Structure 1
């Protein structure tokens, strides 16, 4: 299946997401900070990035924008996950280049559906 980079600083959410994606057959590369997410995203080219917005080091918005800028048209899809759910938060995520935005708390089933949609459409 696909290689997915998951950057989430809340351990219980990271574990939940990792287990759900691995159960669906994906390989997960996990990190809990934005600096590592950017380095991994640039050096290992995952098929998809799932980024929390509020990460230590670099925020997910910055990581998203830098990944999209570095890869250009061929950039992997990026899905942002955040407890910030106001319209302006979502718009900022899309402006940074995100392909989708999921608001916490979220259903693991919905998360998997959105990941699969981003990978296969």
Structure 2
């Protein structure tokens, strides 16, 4: 069974390109367009990893990260924050709230795929229960 990745971003072009990239890598992809939708999808679908934008409507990526880490059932889900907010204070805040990794936009798709594989425990072929 393929691993599920939730992509949470309010920018349609980024959602489309990341969805294409992750599907091409063999992952099942879930989408959310704001922070609250991301939390709802996580509670329902239990993704294996979340690609989380910081600046989103309703709830920010920081809010989502904080709530996920406070949740008994979701706190184990790796979170990779993707954002245009690249100041050191933003990175430090994301990591302090429990993000597993932080990448700033624009990012290399190759580096993103490598980071996703790393957070999921290696290349897809090695994933198994």
TM-score, normalising length: structure 1 = 0.94
Could you tell me how far apart the structure 2 residues matched to 1:95 and 1:89 are?
A: 10
Which blocks of at least 5 consecutive residues in structure 1 are unaligned?
none
Contact 1:7 / 1:51 at 8 angstroms: preserved in 2?
A: yes
> In the alignment, which residue of structure 1 is the partner of 2:126?
none
Question: Deviating runs (4+, > 6 A) in structure 1?
Answer: none
Q: Within 2, Cα distance between the matches of 1:95 and 1:9?
A: 23
Rg larger in structure: 2
Give the superposition deviation at 1:72: 6.8
1:1-121 superposed matches below 5 A = 1-71=2-72, 75-120=76-121
8 Å CA contact retained: 2:46, 2:74: no
> Shift of the alpha carbon at 1:117?
0.6
**CA apart distance, 1:74:** 5.4
For the 8 Å contact 2:83–2:104, the answer to whether it is kept is yes
Render the CA deviation track for 1:92-117: whole Å, top value 9, x for unaligned: 00011000001000111111111111
DSSP-derived class of the 1:57 partner: coil
**Which structure has greater helix proportion?**
1
3-state SS, counterpart of residue 71 of structure 2: helix
2:53 and 2:74 mapped to 1: Cα distance? 23
Across the aligned residues of Structure 1 and Structure 2, the Cα RMSD in angstroms comes to: 1.5
What residue ranges of structure 2 are gaps of 5+ in the alignment?
A: 123-129
Change (3 A) 1:74 1:11: closer
